[in-house]
A and B are shown apart, each in its own frame.
Chain A
Amino acid sequence: MDAFILQILNGLDKGSAYALIALGLTLIFGTLGVVNFAHGALFMLGSFCAVTLQRILTLSYTIEDPSQKDFLGNPLKVDTPYLVSWFGDSTGHAIIEWSVPLAILFAIPVMLLVGYVMERGLIKHFYKRPHADQILVTFGLAIVIQEIIKYFYGANPIPTPAPDMFKGSLDFGIMIGYAKNTIIYPYWRLIYFMFSAVIITAVFAFLRFTTFGMVVRAGMADRETVGLLGINIDKRFTIMFGIAAAVAGLAGVMYAPINSPNYHMGMDFLVLSFVVVVVGGMGSLPGAVLAGFLLGILESFASMNEVKSVIPGIDQIIIYLVAIIILLTRPRGLMGRKGVMEE
């Protein structure tokens, strides 16, 4: 039983990332009808927002410290971040340490802007073109974004640690009456899960309880009629694209401590998130979230040794296998609406 709970917990953080990316993909597909192959790249951009902020915060100047000597007896050169000299030792280091959470604030405007520019500059021209063209052009865009990141940040993963406060693990087993160290769960993963839950709730609440969200939902149901009512639905959809980009970006920012950002992480996640969207049902927001968590947990169950000894290699293919079965038996996915892209 404890192993069972542990696997559910392990699945949650990956599932959260899938759910957030899939949510953004579905938002874009549901509003604009565009299949966005560059969405993984947006997730990756989010991670690199965290890296960038970390680099900005650690911008340093070098001073010679006469009180310390290096091994040759010359005065030691010490790099001091500007922040430390401005805010004093403890505050400065604390800000640097908290660069990942702070990057959330940095990433939101950046990703909104990226999404806005992307939609206005490129995607806009592809509404009337076949889906195959949309896939191709966004695929090209994903390559371009990925290569630009590789050019500026190099090909190696960049470690982006979480604040020291969250370094340890939570002994979850003790809380529910198991022995010590049976179910331990890293704090940061817990935070990632809670963060994604907050984001998902916020997106749903935004769509459900604001006038803007209501108009967008109406537009998703029947774009033409909403347009005929004199509402500039295109503008709202553009903003939704920005929001979807921001959701993917935030998923990336918070994922940076779990998985050191590298330039191809977007592509790795993209393939899986597409599978998630298809399993959840194209165009269904709750479906995307549900399928994200479900597949994340399934994946972690499949990587248990007990399961692997029965069916070797199952952990590598479980998600694809589920997707294939779902697509063949229930074409519209778990929660897809009838008639949306069923063929």
Chain B
Amino acid sequence: MLGLSKKDTSFLLVVIFLTLATPILLQPFPEESALAQFNAGYPDLMQRFAIYGIFAIGFNILFGLTGYLSFGHAAFLGVGSYSVVWMYKLLNYNVLPGLLLAIIMSALFALLIGYISLRRSGIYFSILTLAFAQMSFNLAYSVLTPLTNGETGLQVYTDDPQVLMAAGSPTSPHFFGIVMNESTKIEVGGWQFTFNNGYYFCAIIAVIAFYLSLRIFRSPFGTMLRAIKTNQTRMNYTGLNPRPYTLAAFVISGMYAGLAGGLLASMDPLAGAERMQWTASGEVVLMTILGGAGTLMGPVLGAAFIKYFENIFSKINDNILHTWFSALPDGLEDAVVFVFHPFIGKGWSLTLGLLFMMVVIFLPGGLIEGGTRIKNLITGKNRKSKQLDKDATHHPKPTAHVN
């Protein structure tokens, strides 16, 4: 189906099912139960899953396939957001023109940055992209204020032209009348499921984005990108110029980032320069690595993992910890809570940093590799993996062109 092999088709179908059923699947605990705080089925969070999923999928096309580590992808996220808000200001609240503009603008932007940055590789490439992103961030904060509204952030004001705004059109982001922040709530027993328009809009785009990345992974183009990661020198010797391929990958991943940024502004009609800061670029790097760079599902998993636990960890406080460990003797309970205290609430970044280090040190393949290892452990498929290891000694190790 759709030009995919049988295995990929069923994979895609599973992904589609999971995406569409997310509002139900992420709401496993009844509303009244003590575990309800672990539910993630509310619109804001689910939208972020889908949007950052798109961002990470795009980043993975660049980093996972070609091995070029960009530290500047947040610039495209910001460009996308600004484009969408500008379309709100000029036309009306329909998100479609904005998203198209976001993709086009970020593609142009990525073409420019990529054309220059890809002249170098390895650490130099990382620093060049970082320099460009920081430049955009600094400019958005200072000189480009007429375009970006500086520190306040870009938003829609009542005196904006909005030329296409008719009398009856919605006054918040919508897609041909489907208003993003409207949701349908359904109560089943103790459970409450929220089906949000905005989430489904993002989810459908995310599935399309995922399908495209699947096609890229399986295409000759994708193979070429992997060849660049494995051994660029050898590729040069075969007479192939890697530059157009890496540039194409860079532009595609920039477009994904722009789309994600546009969607962020579609859910909430605001755009601020802090979206372009390099910490935001770092976040997508974390997501991709944590999930598993170079795998199809890894980046999405990583994005969902980070966004989910960011949300949960920020909600947990000492009182909740005390109720959890109330079975322990008093002194021990206090000690356990004391130990966990730095990692919860505002300490989420600390937990994330530690987790990320652990993954880079022990599980370079990310959560996906972890899952595979556990699966092999259970099913006893060690023989196969050993054979793979032996095979690896005859092939050069993939490096990220930094040597």
Contact = CB atoms under 8 A, between A and B. Distances in A.
Q: A and B: partners?
A: yes
Given A137-B357, A139-B282, A151-B342, A328 B116 contact: yes
A53 B363 CA distance: 39
Q: Most chain-A Cβ atoms within 10 A of its Cβ — which of B124, B141, B142?
A: B124
B289 A148 contact: no
Given A131-B122, A137-B357, A341-B123, A324 B402 contact: no
A313 B349 CA distance: 32
A130 B360 CA distance: 12
A317 B124 contact: no
Given A35-B123, A151-B342, A131 B402 contact: yes
B401 A343 contact: yes
Interface string B366-403: 00000000000000000000000000000000011111
B130 A274 contact: yes
Contact of A331 (B116, B124, B285): B124
Interface residues of A, number: 39
Interface in A104-133: 122, 125, 130-133
Given A130-B403, A137-B360, A324-B116, A144 B131 contact: no
Contact of A140 (B279, B357, B401): B357
B108 interface: no
Nearest to B126: A135
Contacts of B403: 130-131
**Most chain B CB atoms below 10 A, which of A132, A316, A321:** A132
Interface residues of B, number: 45
A205 interface: no
A275 interface: yes
Main secondary structure of the interface of A (DSSP, over half): helix
A171 interface: no
Interface in B93-134: 116, 119-124, 126-128, 130-132, 134
A317 B135 contact: yes
Given A144-B357, A148-B350, 18 more contacts: A130-B399, A131-B402, A139-B282, A141-B357, A143-B353, A143-B356, A146-B349, A271-B130, A278-B127, A313-B139, A313-B143, A316-B135, A321-B135, A323-B127, A323-B131, A327-B124, A331-B120, A343-B401
Contact of A151 (B69, B120, B350, B401): B350
B350 A317 contact: no
Contacts of A147: 347, 349-350, 353
A312 interface: yes
B309 to A, nearest CB: 15
B138 interface: yes
Contacts of A130: 399-400, 402-403
Contact of B350 (A122, A144, A274): A144
B354 interface: yes
Nearest to A151: B342
A146 B349 CA distance: 9
A82 interface: no
Interface in B126-163: 126-128, 130-132, 134-135, 138-139, 141-144
Contacts of B142: 313, 316
B402 A316 contact: no
A317 B361 contact: no
A195 interface: no
B270 interface: no
B132 A316 contact: no
A48 to B, nearest CB: 16
Nearest to A29: B123
B350 A133 contact: no
Contacts of A140: 353-354, 356-357, 360
A94 interface: no
A187 interface: no
Contacts of A320: 131-132, 134-135
Nearest to B67: A132
Nearest to A35: B123
A317 B139 contact: yes
A166 B139 CA distance: 36
Nearest to B130: A271
Given A147-B353, A316-B142, A271 B134 contact: yes
Contact of B122 (A146, A316, A324, A341): A341
Given A144-B350, A147-B350, A331-B124, A132 B400 contact: yes
Interface in A230-271: 267, 271
A78 interface: no
A271 B137 CA distance: 13
